[in-house]
Structures are given as C-alpha cells and as structure tokens.
Chains A and B, each alone.
Chain A
C-alpha cells in the first residue's frame, strides 16, 4: 500500500471510531463515564415527619402493610379510623419489603428537625446546620444539578424532575446557588396539585392558539425586540430553561393534562374516593410524569402525615395512605417499559418526631406530636425526631432482597446524606463529582443495601 493511501485509510478509520456511536444494550448511545447499576432512580420522600415507632417499629401494629412484612394487630381506635377511609386493593401479590432492603435505624443526624431543612439535606446530601432562608436556593449543589452536570451523556431537564406536594419554599430545591452549578443544571420542578386544579385551569389552562405561520411571525418580531434589548431573562431569574424542543413537549403535555382534568379523569383516578389525599394525588401526578418522560431521576415527596402536630389518629391514617401511595408508585414503575427492572426506588422520611406528645389530644385521647430535636447532635435528651427509616427497592441484581438492617442499641446505620451519594453511584456519575461536594459512597451506611 502506498504511504499516502495508508495514511488516508488510517485517518478515516480513526475518525470513524470517534464518530460512529455505539448503541449499548440499554439503548444509550454512549457509555456513561462511570458504571451504571440502573438507568433510573426514584427517590420518594416519605416526609412530613415520621416516627419509627409508628412505622418500622410497628408500635400501632402494622399500619403500613404494603411496605412492611407482618400482620401485627392494630389498636381498635386506629383500625376504625383507617377503615373509615378505605383504600382499594392493589393486588400487588408481594410485599415491598421482600423487594429490597429496609434500614430500621437510619438517622437525620444534624441540623434543625424542620421539614425544609430535612428536604434540603436529602436533596443535596449535605446537612444544613443553621436556619435556612426559605426564599433561597440551597447553598450546596442538589442531586439534580450533580446528575445533569456530571452524568454522561448529559441529559436535559426532561429526564430530571422534582415533584412537590406543596409550594412555600419547596420550589427552590430544584437547583442551588453553588458556583459552577445552578439553574442551567436544575430539575424541572412541578407542584401538580396546584397546577392541575380549578385555580390552575382558570389561570393557565385555556390558551390563545396561533398557527405555525403566526408563531413564526411572532418569533420574528420577538427576536428583533430581544436583539434590540441588551439583557436576557434567562436561567436563574427565569428558573430553569428547557430546550425549545423539550418546552414544546412540556406545553403539549400540560395542555393534555388540563384536558384530562377538565374531562374528569383526575376526579378519582385510583378509585379511592374520598380517601384520596394530597399525598396520593402528588404520587398520582408523579406517575403521569413517568408515563410521559420516563425520567432517569425523579424525586417526589409526601407530607400529609404532618397533621400529627394536631391529631395523632389522622397521622396514623395518613401513614397508612402514604404506604399505599408508595406501593402504587412502585407498581407503576414495574409496569412501565424502560423503567421496569431498571429502577431503584429509595424511600425515606426527612426526619422523625418527638418521643412525648404536645397538648393537642385527639378524639381517641391520643396526644399529637411535634418534631423539635435540638440542633446539637451531642444533646442527650429527646432525639427521636432524628430517628428515621430508609427502604431501598430494586432489581435483585442490584439491591439485596428481603434484608432488614438493624443497628446495635443506641447506634445507627445509614443517614440522610447517604441518599444523594447512592443516587450518584447508581447512575454512574459519582466519580465525576468533586470530592468536597458529596460523601464518598464507600463510606456510607446505605451501601449495605446494594450487591
């Protein structure tokens, strides 16, 4: 072969090796920089403040029969309250505990035992040891930004969602103010129970439509105006910005959701009637997001158990409903092509509740519960508000099945900040994250859930 031909062919072969993508069995175009264990992670914050005493320790019997094995009897007053708000039968055919690992002595170790602090810690993998300004974005990167910045290949916000049951400070959790991260790597945030409501429909539900030619003319004028003005309303002030293509899909999806809402499809979607509470609705909408976007990272929360501040019996009933909602979500994942058998779901409260009740006594004579463990982690008094559980579900090739992890008395295994490290590890981008941002997965307690 002549030298010139050789160089030419060698050059073409090398260029081909770089440009021809390799389609992996999972359908991904390029191999991720780390080794993925699964392609989807769902983090369900079983939030609102849940004591281990009523949940995994079954002090009221097993009022979470989908998530926990066992048929311990429930006190008559609580059983009657639960029966008064009946839920349909899911017919799962299995218990979630058999599909993963249950940590019974997880901890929210540091920081105020407040809902927003707890959410911030779980979403950033960093404790907030001071009071937070609830108007601020977190000061350390969220798991959404870590995923969108470090995952390879990079994904748009279409694949990354934060679904909150309420507004207040929670919309701010979709990105941080940390240098080098921020809105450009943020998650799509939605509070669907506000959006897909009568008020939402009457505010943004019926839109003036334009033909594509009219849209093009409007774009022409808008582009001219924007070129004439020296500032942009973009990332940060404008929240996150979806790509043009994703924004069009989102608009169509929102239109479709309003159409279903108007058609009555959301009136009683699970056949639960009046038992359908805000937590269940939020999970229902998260499932709609799964249907449309099959997200790689989805964080969704529930907080109705926080009624415990005022009524203990209602707290127990809402725990029972949250258990149902989690099982419904897992069932959805396991019946969604692309996510089935390729998803790990992590379930954990943001914090617990106090040992002793407050002065609110309910109809059954039970005292309501606050969550006020002091900031000082070395405080020797009531620290029950720091005691939480964590359940990890996933394929048997990834997650240890049917395991219960209990720490020696007075100790803990696993903590809130482990969850972000686990998500980064599962999605294969942990090694790309600067070491000062997230705890090393190998030093976490939650790693015991994985093979």
Chain B
C-alpha cells in the first residue's frame, strides 16, 4: 500500500512540474528554405541547349541547317564547357542578337534582373539574387546587358531544366 502511495505521489509531482513548463509561441510562419532552381534535375540535351541559346538571343527558332552545323562543332571537341562558351560568344557576336540597350537596363535595374533571370532560368529571382546582381550593375557603368546575359548563359543552372 505504501509503495502504491509513493507511486501516485511521484506521478502527481511529475504532472505538476510538467504543467509549469511554459510553452513559447513565436507566431512566425514556417518557411521551407530551398535553393533557387533546386527543382531542376535534368541536363538539357545538346540540341536543346543550342536551340534554347539561339532562341533566347535571337527571339526566333534556330534554322535547321544552323542547328546541324553548330551541333557538329559541338560534337567535334571533347571539352563541352569550352565549346559551349564558344557557341554563346559566337552568337553574342552577331549583329542580329536581341539584347536590351544599356539605357533600358539602367532605367530600372531590379526589373532588368528580374526579367533576365526569368528569361534564362525560367523562374523569378529571389530577393538576394536580385539585390546582388543589381548591386554589381549599379556599382559599375562598365557592366552591359550583354555581360549579364553571357554570365547567365554560361552558368550551371542554364544547362539544367
């Protein structure tokens, strides 16, 4: 009987102690942290890559013979990053390339960054991305829209979808 009383006393004490514990509620909404573009798992095929580079820069579909010849050059060298850099810079060198003017970019830099990331990465930039790239552009008058385009098109994310 004594043992039973002792047991009830311990249980009662534990209940009192636990009920005294204060629970804090911060009332902050849970946020799931993800990397920008984190859902992209697939590497673009060579054909997709070349076609998308072309259409992103010329706002047109790539002609079949152009695609064939660029593809052959792509296949003809083993270091694909090196050859992709050449493909992008070759297209950028064309007078027909469609890139916003410097004045347009500088009239509203955050908007330009927003639209550029959307165009190349098919998503909105997060706040920090927009701040970081906008900051680089606004801190140097030497940064051109073409340079921002070039950086995007030779980044890892551009190779994925």
Contact = CB atoms under 8 A, between A and B. Distances in A.
Given A203-B69, A207-B86, A229-B35, A194 B151 contact: no
A237 B42 CA distance: 11
A243 to B, nearest CB: 10
Most buried by B among A174, A188, A238, A240: A238
Interface in B27-78: 35-38, 40-41, 43, 66, 69-70, 72-73, 75-78
Given A228-B36, A231-B156, A162 B78 contact: yes
A208 B146 contact: yes
Contacts of A187: 78
B5 interface: no
Nearest to A162: B78
Contact of B136 (A194, A210, A221, A231): A221
Contacts of B92: 207-208
B69 A202 contact: yes
A174 B76 CA distance: 12
A232 interface: yes
B82 A224 contact: no
Contact of A224 (B132, B140, B144, B147): B132
A264 B129 CA distance: 48
A91 interface: no
B93 A207 contact: yes
A183 to B, nearest CB: 9
A210 B147 contact: yes
**Contact residues on B (Cβ < 8 Å of other chain), bracket:** 35 or more
**Contact residues on A (Cβ < 8 Å of other chain), bracket:** 35 or more
A186 B79 CA distance: 10
B49 to A, nearest CB: 10
A104 B90 CA distance: 49
Contacts of A189: 77-78
Interface string A235-273: 001111110000100110010000000000000000000
Given A225-B152, A239-B78, A203 B72 contact: yes
B81 interface: yes
B147 A225 contact: no
A206 B93 contact: yes
Interface of A: 157, 162, 167, 171, 174, 186-192, 194-195, 199-200, 202-210, 213-214, 217-222, 224-226, 228-234, 237-242, 247, 250-251, 254
* Closest A-B pairs by Cβ, 8 of them: A189-B78, A221-B151, A199-B69, A208-B92, A207-B89, A191-B76, A208-B93, A233-B159
